[in-house]
Amino acid sequence: MKKLIIAISCMASLFAPDLDVYAASGTATAKIGTAISISVDDTNPETDSITAVNVTHGDLAFGHIIPGTGGTVTVTSAGVVTPSAGLTLTTQLPTGPAQFKVTGEANFHYSITMDSSTTITNGNGDSMTVNSLEHNASGTLDGRGEEIFKVGGVLSVSNNQVTGSYTGSFNVDAAYN
């Protein structure tokens, strides 16, 4: 009988609630945000001019250039276009900075990484270099999660530059800070 009482009391102690056990809960949180993206902005036609040529806002447009003794054409991100003394810039084609739109999480900070130069070619092996690519992005998205910024650069034209239409590309990337 003593063995049965000892066995029952041992079993009871195994299943009895432990009064010294405390519980707490933690909180797990996460926010799913908007991915940052960058695209050519075609919502603001301020760099368009009335011509038969359709220039998209992603284009850094140096216009129609008569080489003369050679030199540079500067297009700033603010839209100021300045040919050097050795070049003539006609009004045959529009000029202006490239325009991009960054979208993402409202009021977030971001950074722009882009090429510092690029080469443009006419498809026949002739080329020119665009240096000093610069942008005017503030690095902060507005309350709608957007910012439009522009890219300018300096085109080097030789005095014997072959005529033709020259094109090229440059990379612009946006990332959250």
pLDDT tens-digit series, residues 12-45: 444 555 545 544 444 343 333 445 565 666 654 4
- pLDDT value, residue 5: 41
pTM of the model: 0.73
Is residue 5, in this structure, part of any structural domain at all? no
How would you classify the pairing of strands 110-114 and 81-83? unpaired
Q: Is 84 helix (H, G, I), strand (E, B) or coil?
A: coil
Is residue 6, in this structure, part of any structural domain at all? no
Q: Name the E strands within 8-60.
A: 37-40
Structural domain of 127: 34-176
- pLDDT value, residue 35: 54
The whole-angstrom separation of Cα 140 and Cα 177 is: 10
Check: CB of residue 99 under 8 Å from CB of residue 39: no
Q: What angle do CA 58, 60, 63 make, to 5 degrees?
A: 130
**Per the structure, how many domains does the chain have?**
1
- pLDDT value, residue 160: 84
Instruction: For residue 156, name the pLDDT band (cuts at 50, 70, 90).
Output: very high
Is residue 28, in this structure, part of any structural domain at all? no
52 or 83, higher pLDDT: 83
Q: Tens digit of pLDDT for each residue in 38-77?
A: 566 665 444 332 222 233 356 888 888 888 888 999 999 9
Is residue 26, in this structure, part of any structural domain at all? no
Is residue 8, in this structure, part of any structural domain at all? no
Is residue 106, in this structure, part of any structural domain at all? yes
Across the chain, mean pLDDT equals: 75
Is residue 16, in this structure, part of any structural domain at all? no
Is residue 75, in this structure, part of any structural domain at all? yes
